[in-house]
Amino acid sequence: MDRHLEAFLEMLAAERDAAFNTREAYRADLEDFAAFAAGDGSTLMGATPALLRAYLGSLRARGLAARSQARRLSALRQFYRFLLREGIRAEDPSAGLDSPRPSKKLPKYLDPAEIVALLEAAARLPGQAGPTAVAALELLYATGLRVSELLALSPAAITAGEAMILVRGKGGKERIVPLSPIAAAAAERLLAGQGKPAGRESRRWLFPGRDPRRPLTRQGLALLFKQAALAAGLDPALVSPHVLRHSFATHLLANGADLRSLQTLLGHSAIATTEIYTHVSAGRLQAAVARHHPLARRRS
């Protein structure tokens, strides 16, 4: 292996505390470029801007997605910045290159009728699976919580008569989220059905796992949602905690919520992250015009 590549990987471990899998991903990306450079009679150390542009062109020709191309270029940039900082190279050949821009994927979401069908099907699941699935669905759709935020909730977060809950989100940031009476009632029914131990203050998790000392896992919740989706006649691939979060945001925006309020509710640090839902709403408006405008189907 190139000694400078080895030094770069050691820096990632020592200075950035990069995980083993992260370092291996960098290694694979840089060795892929090194192989391309060798085919052009060059080396990893001797790369020029022209060679890097040719490499990016080869990635497009190989059919790599823009996101994968951008990741490869990011690895190269960090490598050459490291060499520049260490005085090993006098210039950064990647400095003038534009990163490929991944196309924004519109989030998947369910229609309100599908949400209702999902809730009704979840209520029919046997045993404790029913109340658990209903409470999870109601809370996700009523609040837009991330799955990690949902599964971290304690019973104390649900207080009778309170219309708000305190949520700890990404980076430990806290936010206040409104809670609908229906979602609160579903959580109360879940707690009542859990029985012991007495006193919700002694329970650690609103959604406990098989071991009550630990919360329900993402996989366990995904299985409950799959069962509810199948019972509702929906494609299980379209039903997930993230789809419920997207449905919450899409339906709020479609019914008049402003973007800043939605940003706060979702816990997005940047408004640009929330703006993707404007594309969803625009698509819904376009479809509505196509369906209902009397001259929409007129041929030009």
Q: First CA to last CA across the chain, in angstroms?
A: 63
**141 noted as active-site residue:** no
CATH for the stretch 112-239 = 1.10.443.10
Choosing from 242, 260, 279, 293, the catalytic residue is 242
**62 noted as active-site residue:** no
Distance separating alpha carbons of residues 125 and 10, to the nearest angstrom: 52
Which of 39-43, 144-148, 171-175, 277-281 has the lowest average pLDDT? 277-281
Q: Where are the domains of the chain?
A: 3-85, 112-239
Sorting pLDDT into bands at 50, 70 and 90, what band is 195? low
Report the chain's mean pLDDT, rounded to a whole number.
Answer: 86
**245 noted as active-site residue:** yes
Choosing from 146, 175, 203, 292, the catalytic residue is 146
Choosing from 26, 80, 141, 277, the catalytic residue is 277
Choosing from 175, 189, 218, 268, the catalytic residue is 268
Same fold, 3-85 and 112-239: no
Cα angle value 141/232/222 (rounded, 5°): 55
Full 3-state SS string of 152-163: CCCHHHCCCCCC
**27 noted as active-site residue:** no
> In 3-state terms, what secondary structure has residue 212?
coil
Distance separating alpha carbons of residues 249 and 172, to the nearest angstrom: 22
**203 noted as active-site residue:** no
pLDDT tens for 254-300 read 888 888 888 888 988 888 888 877 766 655 556 656 665 566 555 54
**218 noted as active-site residue:** no
**Selected residue with higher pLDDT from 230 and 175:** 230
Choosing from 170, 260, 279, 293, the catalytic residue is 170
pTM above 0.75? Answer: no
Domain 3-85 is of which CATH architecture?
Orthogonal Bundle (1.10)
The CA distances from residue 11 to 5, 7, 19, 24, 94, in Å, are 10, 6, 12, 13, 19
Continuous segment of H or E residues that includes residue 178: strand 174-178
Choosing from 71, 72, 89, 245, the catalytic residue is 245
pLDDT above 70: percentage of residues in the chain = 87
Distance separating alpha carbons of residues 176 and 156, to the nearest angstrom: 15
Instruction: Considering only the C-alpha atoms of the chain, give the largest distance between any 2 of them, rounded to a whole number of Å.
Output: 73
pLDDT tens for 128-168 read 999 999 999 999 999 999 999 999 998 888 875 568 888 88
